Amino acid sequence: MSVLGGDKDKELRIHESLDELGTDLADYIAELSETSVKERGVFALAISGGSLIGLMGKLCEAPYNKTVDWAKWYIFWADERVVAKNHADSNYKLAKDGLFSKVPIVHSHVHSINDSVSAEEAANEYEFAIRQLVKSRVISVSDISDCPKFDLILLGMGSDGHIASLFPNHPVLDEKNEWVTFITDSPKPPPERITFTLPVINSASNVAVVVTGDSKADAVHLAIDDVGPDCPLVPARIVQPTKGKLVWFLDKPAASKLDGFQFSD
């Protein structure tokens, strides 16, 4: 693994292979879980869907399946498609089948959306549920805004630079008041989704963006490099935790268009 352009608040971890990335990602999540459980007694984790879930797969294997304090985990979705929980497009189903059915997470700690109401209602209900858990301190609160402070938010990124369900040029990128909002016009199907807003993402203690494959290399370049105002502003570029730490997990194909990145064979 090489670490490129690291600074106090942002780190780029570029991996030789998906296997190496998977191990590093599992180590990273397990370490943050341990720290959080030590400090707060719980670990409040928000995840996304897509390729991220497969890349987290090592968490279900030794040693993590035995060493992680699963009973202290509380799971949320940074974005969800408004479809039935057993639908192939459901981010909940993806994570349940790929991860959470394989480790002893407490069922009542898994906070999925209500899939039997409209996208707007689902977003409102999800925000209300998060507010209750902020009140009971399962989720911390930011000390500079009223936003929830998740211990970790894990994001993937699309080849258009979208993160969660925040797509390029969409008006919800400017949402400042809501914690969770909704869209009904996602350019990537399915159209109806709920999503954390940028203030919530940027209030987390830790945010990791996990991106692999050469189809995302242009978006990685636009999100990370000093590209200037004439280039399109991709949503992933606006992921800048105010007080938290940001880590990008990349494989070499995804990192291949970063300025200054040289393959070191």
Cα–Cα nearest to 164, from 25, 24, 240, 50: 50
Residue 72 Ramachandran class (φ > 0 left, ψ -120 to 50 alpha, else beta): alpha
Give the nearer residue to ligand LXAUTJHC in terms of CB position, either 48 or 181: 48
Cα dihedral across residues 244, 250, 254, 258: positive or negative: positive
State the number of binding residues for ligand LXAUTJHC (CB under 6 A): 12
Q: Which stretch binds ligand LXAUTJHC (CB under 6 A): 119-127, 130-138, 153-161, 222-230?
A: 153-161
Site string for ligand LXAUTJHC, 206-245 (x = CB under 6 A): ----------------------------------------
Work out whether 51 is an interface residue with ligand LXAUTJHC (CB under 6 A): yes
Query: Smallest distance, Å, CB 165 to ligand LXAUTJHC?
Result: 6
**How many CB atoms within 10 Å of residue 255?**
25
Distance CA 168, CA 170 (A): 6
Query: Smallest distance, Å, CB 49 to ligand LXAUTJHC?
Result: 4
Q: Exactly one of 22, 148, 158, 235 binds ligand LXAUTJHC (CB under 6 A); which one? A: 158
How far is CA 90 from each of CA 87, 176, 189, 212, rounded to the nearest angstrom? Answer: 5, 26, 11, 21
Q: What six digits make up the tokens of 87?
A: 């639908």
Q: Distance from CA of residue 223 to its chain's centroid?
A: 15
Work out whether 165 is an interface residue with ligand LXAUTJHC (CB under 6 A): yes
Residues binding ligand LXAUTJHC (CB under 6 A): 48-52, 79, 91, 155-156, 158, 165, 188
